Amino acid sequence: MHEVSLASGLIEIVSGQCKNNGYQRIDSVNVKIGRASGILPDALIFAFDAMKSDSLAKDAVLYIEEVLVGGHCRDCNSDFAVEEEYVLNCPCCGGLSFDVTAGREMDIVDMEVS
């Protein structure tokens, strides 16, 4: 729902880093988005493309790697990933003592510049 504000922040960060590194244009950007982050990848790409025109990212393609919600169970010691956006109990043993270790990502990984 707030993909436009995110796209605007994203363009600002990558354009700044591109300029600081002395490059003229960004060809592509790789980001990681967790399934539990509340972000719709398609909407983020749409917003990125709509807002990039006046920036160093104007020709850039945005690639999104989706990250599943995952955790570590303290009962059975297993590491797991689930299809849902949340974990209610360990999918291996049904236990309730687990730590959610992945799925909230909203990270910029790297970019291709020239």
Q: Which residues of this protein are in contact with another protein, per CB under 8 A?
A: 1-2, 5-6, 9-10, 12-14, 17-18, 21, 23, 29, 31, 36-38, 85-86, 88-89, 96, 106-114
Whether 23 contacts 113, CB under 8 Å: yes
Residues 39-55: b if buried by 16+ CB within 10 A, e if exposed: bebeebbebbeebbeeb
Whose structure tokens read 């910029």? 108
Between residues 79 and 94, which has the closer beta carbon with respect to another protein? Answer: 94
CB of 97 to another protein, least distance (A): 9
CB of 79 to another protein, least distance (A): 19
Q: Is 26 helix (H, G, I), strand (E, B) or coil?
A: strand
Long-range contacts of 37-42 (CB under 8 A, 24+ apart): 37/103, 37/104, 37/105, 37/106, 38/1, 39/3, 39/6, 39/106, 40/3, 41/66
CB of 111 to another protein, least distance (A): 5
Between residues 1 and 83, which has the closer beta carbon with respect to another protein? Answer: 1
Between residues 79 and 107, which has the closer beta carbon with respect to another protein? Answer: 107
Between residues 77 and 94, which has the closer beta carbon with respect to another protein? Answer: 94
CB of 48 to another protein, least distance (A): 11
